[in-house]
Amino acid sequence: MTSVAVAVAGGARRPARRAKAIGTLLASLPVLVTVVFVGVPVVLAVLYTLGDVHGLNSAVASVAQHQVVARHGLTLGAYAHFFESAELRSDLVVTVVVTVVQSLVLVALALALGLFVRFGRGWLTKVVSTLYVVPMFVPVVIASFALVTFWEDRGKLAGFLALFGLPHSGLPGYTTAGVVLGLVWTNLPFAVILIGSGLQGVPDALIEAARDAGAKPLRVLRRVILPAIRLPLVIVIVFSATGALGAYTVPDLMGPNAPQMLGVAMTGYFQSFGQPQMAEVMAVIVFLGAIGLAGIYLWANRASALDRGARG
């Protein structure tokens, strides 16, 4: 009887082991695809920027121009050439400035709209809560063309101002300011939805208690509301900044020819100038910036979890 029971138990465990193995295999497929099609190319690209032109990098190196080749080991020569170039340094500065400015403008505008929808009353609040999601359903290419043809020097806005004899020079078409406005437009729905959801989670009783204690609206915002939505604010800043670092469509269609953001510059160096190594140097710099932003997000997420644990 004992041997029969063991045999039955062993037979019952075999399907469980088979199901576990199948589940592990299915779960590992996305990881395997990511490693093969993302991880390996990233490692090869980083090695190529360090002067490794052998192995799988030999094909692109054979047709590349103005590349740095490491004679022994690896070299930072390609990165030195990047920072020695005044043109590329200006592209880097513009990328950082646009990323910072558009993130700050986006957060300020999204916070204002979120507060209006959260605490506003009447038909205007309903209209605003409906309209701010419109950019989400407009493709970025179409929105970029529409915006730049609206406010360029010979666009719709210029024609309207000229009709009334008003000055119409200095409009943000094909300028860095236009890139900032375009990035804010494309990211605004996501930012308002995320910040608005955080505002909905702030208890009315907490706000009323602060008002009863004599706190003015600005003090309520600074001491009650903003600390409660710190994580959504950080998420909006990190995600919008990460997208802006490597943005291509909006800067390409709405920005100036020089200086350019790195997303546009690296495409030009790769396709037009035949310098894939310099393009990958720019990609690595953008990637390092994105990793830094990811670290900020992880820190904010951990701090928020610790706060919830302390309150719980």
- Give residue-wise pLDDT tens across range 51-96: 999 888 888 988 889 899 988 889 999 999 999 999 999 999 999 9
Question: Which residues of the chain fall short of a pLDDT of 70?
Answer: 1-14, 16, 308-312
Alpha-carbon distance of 233 to 180, in angstroms, equals 19
Alpha-carbon distance of 111 to 237, in angstroms, equals 12
In the block, residue with structure tokens 């009863």:
212
CA 15 vs CA 4, 7, 10, 65, 225: distances in Å: 18, 13, 9, 58, 54
Q: Which two tokens stand for residue 310?
A: 């302390």
In the block, residue with structure tokens 């209209």:
127
pLDDT for res 7: 47
Q: What is the pTM of this model?
A: 0.84
Length of the chain: 312
Q: Which domains, from first to last, does the chain contain?
A: 85-311 (1.10.3720.10)
In the block, residue with structure tokens 């024609």:
159
133 Cα distance to chain centroid: 18
pLDDT for res 311: 63
- pLDDT tens sequence across 227-252: 888 889 999 999 999 999 989 999 99
Hey, how many other C-beta atoms are within 10 angstroms of the C-beta on 231? 18
> Residues near 113 by Cβ (< 8 Å), separated by ≥ 6?
128, 132, 188, 192, 196
CA 25 vs CA 34, 144, 203, 305: distances in Å: 14, 43, 45, 32
Q: Which two tokens stand for residue 106?
A: 């986006």
pLDDT for res 32: 86
Which has the closest alpha carbon to 197: 223, 236, 158, 141? 236
